């Protein structure tokens, strides 16, 4: 059974870099059938798409975050990672790692979510 597990510090200082890793179990991240991505949700608010990556390393980042976000993938460890630089209190959120599956038309929808991890930005 597929599992996505986020890991990383729960507290990050302002202006520093937030780093999270998603470990995939029950499936191979090297499968060409899926994209892997990140979504965040500030406490009590809605969902925001951060970006996604293919097993080849090809990635797409939300333009609103592009200058601060890096998404990478390590197929040998079956993991992918998120780095968000120069964080502020506005980056406090639950961060979810997700899988995107392909529908028949070739477009990818999010079909599976990790449980999420709360990251608080505070001094």
Partner 1 sequence: EIVLTQSPGTLSLSPGERATLSCRASLGLSSTYLAWYQQKPGQAPRLLIYSASSRATGIPDRFSGSGSGTDFTLTISRLEPEDFAVYYCQQYGSSPLTFGGGTKVEIK
- Give the footprint of partner 1 on this chain (CB under 8 A): 46-49, 60, 62-64, 96, 100, 103-105, 107-116
| Residue 123 Cβ vs partner 1, minimum distance, rounded to whole Å | 27
Closest CA to 55 of 25, 80, 21, 19: 80
| Residue 58 Cβ vs partner 1, minimum distance, rounded to whole Å | 13
Nearer to partner 1 (CB atom), residue 16 or residue 65: 65
| Residue 16 Cβ vs partner 1, minimum distance, rounded to whole Å | 25
Nearer to partner 1 (CB atom), residue 55 or residue 108: 108
* Tokens (6 digits) for 48: 């925001």
Residues 6+ apart with CB under 8 A from 72: 53, 57, 59, 80, 81, 83
What letter does residue 96 receive in the DSSP assignment?
A: E
Nearer to partner 1 (CB atom), residue 10 or residue 123: 10
User: Residue 24 CB: number of other CB atoms within 10 A?
Assistant: 23
Find the length of the chain: 123
For residues 48 and 90, the answer to whether their CB atoms sit within 8 Å is no
| Residue 96 Cβ vs partner 1, minimum distance, rounded to whole Å | 6
Nearer to partner 1 (CB atom), residue 104 or residue 123: 104
């Amino acid at each position: 059974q597929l599992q996505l597990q986020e890991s990383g510090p729960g507290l990050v200082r302002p202006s520093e870099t937030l780093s999270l890793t998603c470990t995939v179990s029950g499936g191979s991240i090297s499968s060409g059938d899926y994209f892997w991505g990140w979504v965040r949700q500030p406490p009590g608010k809605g969902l925001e798409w951060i970006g996604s990556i293919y097993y080849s390393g090809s990635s797409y980042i939300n333009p609103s975050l592009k200058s601060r976000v890096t998404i990478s993938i390590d197929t040998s460890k079956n993991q992918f990672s998120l780095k968000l630089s120069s964080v502020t209190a506005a980056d406090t959120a639950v961060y979810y790692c997700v899988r995107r599956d392909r529908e028949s038309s070739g477009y990818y929808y999010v079909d599976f979510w990790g449980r999420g991890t709360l990251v608080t930005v505070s001094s």
